[in-house]
């Protein structure tokens, strides 16, 4: 058992045996957030925006100050949280709650701290103009 797992199991006396292949594809940043929640209160409901995005291209990232990351909205559920809040196809997501996106981050990982029903602010670039859109995230 990894030292981190022993520490988490600690006083609770939990047996955290996991098949060696079970956690290979899960980023440590995700495990650090999700594991304590699972242990404390059961299944974690993940937040979503009702859209699909892809990492911004190199030229798009180069236009941003400080080499920040960005996500281009490529698919939008017409009934989803993003569409209801006014997001559009080809909007470029730059910030979540005022924090710049890292250059190669996954949007799903950025949303991990939030729960369905939380209200967040998303900073976007639309046709070269910065906008902030507030929305209530939905269940992913």
Domains along the sequence of the chain with CATH: 3-41 (no CATH), 47-139 (2.30.42.10)
CA atoms 21, 26, 29, 30: torsion sign: negative
pLDDT tens figures, 52-79 = 999 888 877 777 766 688 999 999 999 9
Q: Which of 99, 54, 59, 86 is nearest to 73 (CA)?
A: 54
Indicate the pTM of the whole model.
0.68
> What does DSSP assign to residue 103?
T
pLDDT tens figures, 96-134 = 999 988 888 888 888 988 989 999 999 999 998 999 999
């Amino acid at each position: 058992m990894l030292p981190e797992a022993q520490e988490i199991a600690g006083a609770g006396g939990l047996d955290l045996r996991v098949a060696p292949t079970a956690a290979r594809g899960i980023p440590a940043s995700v495990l650090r957030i999700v594991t304590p929640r699972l242990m404390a209160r059961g299944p974690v409901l993940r937040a979503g925006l009702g859209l699909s995005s892809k990492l911004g291209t190199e030229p798009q990232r180069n236009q941003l100050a400080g080499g920040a990351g960005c996500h281009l909205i490529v698919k939008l559920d017409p009934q989803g949280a993003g569409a209801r809040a006014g997001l559009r196809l080809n909007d470029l997501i730059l910030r979540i709650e005022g924090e710049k996106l890292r250059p190669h981050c996954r949007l799903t990982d950025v949303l991990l701290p939030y729960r369905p029903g939380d209200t967040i602010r998303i900073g976007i670039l639309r046709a070269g103009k910065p906008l902030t859109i507030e929305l209530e995230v939905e269940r992913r």
